[in-house]
Chain A
Protein backbone atom coordinates (compact mmCIF):
# COMPACT_ATOMS: atom_id res chain seq x y z
CA UNK A 1 0.00 0.00 0.00
CA UNK A 2 1.16 3.51 -0.73
CA UNK A 3 1.74 5.99 2.06
CA UNK A 4 2.86 9.56 2.62
CA UNK A 5 4.69 11.08 5.57
CA UNK A 6 4.86 14.81 6.13
CA UNK A 7 7.68 15.71 8.50
CA UNK A 8 6.62 18.43 10.88
CA UNK A 9 2.99 19.10 11.70
CA UNK A 10 3.78 22.80 12.21
CA UNK A 11 6.30 25.00 10.41
CA UNK A 12 6.86 28.65 11.28
CA UNK A 13 8.78 31.12 9.10
CA UNK A 14 9.27 34.86 8.89
CA UNK A 15 7.84 36.82 6.00
CA UNK A 16 10.38 36.79 3.17
CA UNK A 17 12.11 33.63 4.38
CA UNK A 18 12.40 30.33 2.54
CA UNK A 19 9.49 27.92 2.93
CA UNK A 20 10.35 24.19 3.01
CA UNK A 21 7.62 21.62 3.68
CA UNK A 22 8.77 18.02 3.67
CA UNK A 23 7.03 15.01 2.14
CA UNK A 24 8.30 11.45 1.84
CA UNK A 25 6.36 8.71 0.12
CA UNK A 26 6.32 4.95 0.02
CA UNK A 27 5.27 3.29 -3.20
CA UNK A 28 6.03 0.03 -4.98
CA UNK A 29 5.58 1.65 -8.39
CA UNK A 30 6.48 5.09 -9.76
CA UNK A 31 4.09 7.40 -7.96
CA UNK A 32 1.96 10.31 -8.95
CA UNK A 33 2.29 12.99 -6.28
CA UNK A 34 0.29 16.08 -5.39
CA UNK A 35 0.50 19.07 -3.08
CA UNK A 36 -2.73 20.74 -1.97
CA UNK A 37 -3.30 23.83 0.19
CA UNK A 38 -6.23 24.40 2.55
CA UNK A 39 -7.21 27.73 4.05
CA UNK A 40 -9.28 27.68 7.26
CA UNK A 41 -12.74 26.17 6.86
CA UNK A 42 -12.32 25.76 3.11
CA UNK A 43 -11.78 22.94 0.66
CA UNK A 44 -8.45 21.91 -0.81
CA UNK A 45 -6.83 23.69 -3.75
CA UNK A 46 -4.27 22.03 -5.99
CA UNK A 47 -0.82 23.64 -5.80
CA UNK A 48 1.06 21.32 -8.13
CA UNK A 49 1.42 17.71 -9.24
CA UNK A 50 4.15 15.32 -10.38
CA UNK A 51 3.19 12.84 -13.09
CA UNK A 52 6.58 11.46 -14.20
CA UNK A 53 7.45 14.22 -16.65
CA UNK A 54 9.86 16.85 -15.26
CA UNK A 55 11.24 16.17 -11.78
CA UNK A 56 11.04 19.87 -10.85
CA UNK A 57 7.42 20.93 -10.85
CA UNK A 58 6.26 24.52 -10.68
CA UNK A 59 2.89 25.36 -9.22
CA UNK A 60 0.72 28.30 -8.36
CA UNK A 61 1.61 31.16 -5.99
CA UNK A 62 5.35 30.72 -6.53
CA UNK A 63 5.57 27.20 -5.06
CA UNK A 64 7.59 24.40 -6.57
CA UNK A 65 8.50 20.83 -5.65
CA UNK A 66 11.25 18.45 -6.69
CA UNK A 67 10.73 14.72 -7.10
CA UNK A 68 13.77 12.77 -5.87
CA UNK A 69 13.38 9.06 -6.43
CA UNK A 70 16.58 8.17 -4.57
CA UNK A 71 15.29 9.92 -1.45
CA UNK A 72 11.59 9.04 -2.02
CA UNK A 73 10.85 12.69 -1.42
CA UNK A 74 8.68 15.42 -2.90
CA UNK A 75 9.41 18.49 -0.78
CA UNK A 76 7.54 21.75 -1.37
CA UNK A 77 9.47 25.04 -1.45
CA UNK A 78 8.92 28.74 -1.97
CA UNK A 79 11.84 31.20 -2.00
CA UNK A 80 10.08 33.98 -0.10
CA UNK A 81 7.09 33.53 2.20
CA UNK A 82 4.12 35.89 2.17
CA UNK A 83 1.61 36.36 4.94
CA UNK A 84 -1.04 34.99 2.57
CA UNK A 85 0.81 31.63 2.45
CA UNK A 86 -0.35 30.82 5.99
CA UNK A 87 -2.47 27.69 5.59
CA UNK A 88 -2.37 23.92 5.94
CA UNK A 89 -0.55 21.97 3.24
CA UNK A 90 -1.16 18.36 2.27
CA UNK A 91 0.99 15.99 0.27
CA UNK A 92 -0.82 13.12 -1.44
CA UNK A 93 0.08 10.06 -3.53
CA UNK A 94 -2.17 8.47 -6.12
CA UNK A 95 -2.63 4.80 -6.80
CA UNK A 96 -1.95 4.06 -10.46
CA UNK A 97 -2.39 0.30 -10.59
CA UNK A 98 -4.69 -2.38 -9.25
CA UNK A 99 -8.37 -1.91 -8.53
CA UNK A 100 -7.94 1.33 -6.62
CA UNK A 101 -6.26 3.46 -9.26
CA UNK A 102 -7.12 7.12 -8.91
CA UNK A 103 -7.45 6.96 -5.13
CA UNK A 104 -5.48 9.54 -3.18
CA UNK A 105 -3.67 8.81 0.07
CA UNK A 106 -2.95 11.97 2.05
CA UNK A 107 -0.28 12.90 4.53
CA UNK A 108 -1.28 14.27 7.90
CA UNK A 109 -0.79 17.88 6.85
CA UNK A 110 1.62 20.67 7.80
CA UNK A 111 0.34 23.95 9.18
CA UNK A 112 2.44 26.85 7.92
CA UNK A 113 2.57 30.00 10.04
CA UNK A 114 4.14 33.17 8.61
CA UNK A 115 5.35 35.85 11.03
CA UNK A 116 5.69 39.52 10.07
Chain B
Protein backbone atom coordinates (compact mmCIF):
# COMPACT_ATOMS: atom_id res chain seq x y z
CA UNK B 1 0.00 0.00 0.00
CA UNK B 2 1.30 3.43 -0.91
CA UNK B 3 1.06 6.12 1.66
CA UNK B 4 2.61 8.36 4.27
CA UNK B 5 3.68 7.10 7.66
CA UNK B 6 4.46 9.20 10.69
CA UNK B 7 6.04 7.96 13.89
CA UNK B 8 5.61 7.91 16.73
CA UNK B 9 1.88 8.49 17.18
CA UNK B 10 2.53 10.17 20.55
CA UNK B 11 5.76 11.80 21.66
CA UNK B 12 6.70 13.30 24.98
CA UNK B 13 9.32 15.99 25.33
CA UNK B 14 11.09 17.13 28.45
CA UNK B 15 12.09 20.74 28.96
CA UNK B 16 15.23 21.64 27.01
CA UNK B 17 15.13 18.49 24.92
CA UNK B 18 15.22 18.21 21.14
CA UNK B 19 12.90 15.62 19.61
CA UNK B 20 12.60 14.35 16.05
CA UNK B 21 9.38 13.39 14.30
CA UNK B 22 9.59 10.94 11.46
CA UNK B 23 7.79 11.18 8.11
CA UNK B 24 8.21 8.62 5.35
CA UNK B 25 6.36 8.30 2.04
CA UNK B 26 6.40 5.66 -0.67
CA UNK B 27 4.30 7.62 -3.17
CA UNK B 28 7.38 8.74 -5.15
CA UNK B 29 6.44 12.35 -4.43
CA UNK B 30 9.05 15.07 -4.83
CA UNK B 31 7.45 17.58 -2.46
CA UNK B 32 6.95 17.16 1.29
CA UNK B 33 5.50 19.46 3.94
CA UNK B 34 5.24 19.81 7.72
CA UNK B 35 2.24 21.46 9.38
CA UNK B 36 1.40 22.25 12.96
CA UNK B 37 -2.22 22.03 14.10
CA UNK B 38 -3.56 23.77 17.18
CA UNK B 39 -7.24 23.76 18.20
CA UNK B 40 -9.19 26.50 16.44
CA UNK B 41 -6.21 27.64 14.35
CA UNK B 42 -6.29 25.33 11.39
CA UNK B 43 -2.99 24.10 9.98
CA UNK B 44 0.10 26.27 9.75
CA UNK B 45 3.07 25.48 7.53
CA UNK B 46 6.39 24.92 9.28
CA UNK B 47 8.73 23.82 6.48
CA UNK B 48 8.42 22.43 2.98
CA UNK B 49 10.70 20.77 0.48
CA UNK B 50 10.11 20.58 -3.24
CA UNK B 51 13.13 18.42 -4.01
CA UNK B 52 15.83 16.41 -2.26
CA UNK B 53 18.51 18.46 -0.49
CA UNK B 54 16.39 21.62 -0.61
CA UNK B 55 13.81 23.02 1.79
CA UNK B 56 12.16 26.33 2.59
CA UNK B 57 10.81 27.94 5.74
CA UNK B 58 7.08 28.17 6.07
CA UNK B 59 5.09 30.57 8.19
CA UNK B 60 6.18 29.34 11.63
CA UNK B 61 9.69 27.86 11.21
CA UNK B 62 11.25 29.32 14.37
CA UNK B 63 12.26 26.58 16.80
CA UNK B 64 12.12 23.84 14.17
CA UNK B 65 14.61 22.27 11.77
CA UNK B 66 14.35 19.76 8.93
CA UNK B 67 16.49 17.76 6.55
CA UNK B 68 15.77 16.18 3.16
CA UNK B 69 18.56 13.75 2.40
CA UNK B 70 16.30 11.18 0.76
CA UNK B 71 13.24 11.58 -1.42
CA UNK B 72 11.20 9.32 0.86
CA UNK B 73 12.01 10.98 4.17
CA UNK B 74 11.49 14.45 5.68
CA UNK B 75 12.17 14.39 9.45
CA UNK B 76 11.23 17.36 11.63
CA UNK B 77 13.22 18.28 14.74
CA UNK B 78 11.50 20.31 17.43
CA UNK B 79 14.30 22.11 19.21
CA UNK B 80 14.47 23.46 22.75
CA UNK B 81 14.04 26.93 21.22
CA UNK B 82 10.40 26.11 20.46
CA UNK B 83 8.78 27.30 23.67
CA UNK B 84 5.28 26.01 23.01
CA UNK B 85 5.69 22.72 21.14
CA UNK B 86 2.54 20.97 22.33
CA UNK B 87 0.50 20.39 19.16
CA UNK B 88 -0.54 17.87 16.53
CA UNK B 89 2.04 17.65 13.73
CA UNK B 90 1.04 16.60 10.24
CA UNK B 91 3.29 15.63 7.36
CA UNK B 92 2.10 15.78 3.75
CA UNK B 93 3.48 15.07 0.31
CA UNK B 94 2.61 15.84 -3.29
CA UNK B 95 4.00 15.61 -6.77
CA UNK B 96 6.18 18.62 -7.43
CA UNK B 97 4.01 21.73 -7.85
CA UNK B 98 4.58 24.07 -10.76
CA UNK B 99 3.48 27.66 -11.34
CA UNK B 100 -0.16 27.80 -12.43
CA UNK B 101 -0.50 24.09 -11.65
CA UNK B 102 -0.78 23.32 -7.93
CA UNK B 103 -1.07 19.74 -6.81
CA UNK B 104 -3.01 17.83 -4.21
CA UNK B 105 -1.29 17.26 -0.90
CA UNK B 106 -1.75 13.90 0.82
CA UNK B 107 -1.46 13.71 4.58
CA UNK B 108 -0.03 11.27 7.07
CA UNK B 109 -1.84 10.23 10.27
CA UNK B 110 -0.03 12.77 12.46
CA UNK B 111 2.11 12.83 15.62
CA UNK B 112 0.87 14.38 18.84
CA UNK B 113 3.68 16.04 20.80
CA UNK B 114 3.23 16.66 24.50
CA UNK B 115 5.56 18.44 26.89
CA UNK B 116 6.23 16.85 30.28
Closest to A102 in B: B97
Interface SS of chain A: loop
Task: Pick the contact of B40: A46, A96, A103, A108 (CB < 8 A).
Answer: A108
On whether the beta carbons of B104 and A46 are closer than 8 Å, the reply is yes
B25 within 8 A of partner (CB)? no
Chain B proximity mask over A63-104: 1 for CB below 8 Å, otherwise 0? 000000000000000000000000000100011110001111
Chain A residues closer than 8 Å to B100, beta-carbon distance: 96-97, 101
Chain A proximity mask over B22-57: 1 for CB below 8 Å, otherwise 0? 000000000101010000111111001010000000
Closest to B90 in A: A43
On whether the beta carbons of A103 and B98 are closer than 8 Å, the reply is no
How many residue pairs bridge A and B at CB < 8 Å? 67
A106-B42 in contact given A49-B104, A101-B99 (Cβ < 8 Å):
yes
CA distance A49 to B106 in the complex (A): 13
Residues of A within 8 A of B (CB): 9, 32, 34, 36, 41-46, 49, 51, 90, 94-97, 101-104, 106-109
A94: min CB distance to chain B, Å: 4
Binds A, one of B12-20, B65-73, B75-83, B107-115: B107-115
A31: min CB distance to chain B, Å: 9
On whether the beta carbons of A104 and B90 are closer than 8 Å, the reply is no
CA distance A51 to B102 in the complex (A): 8
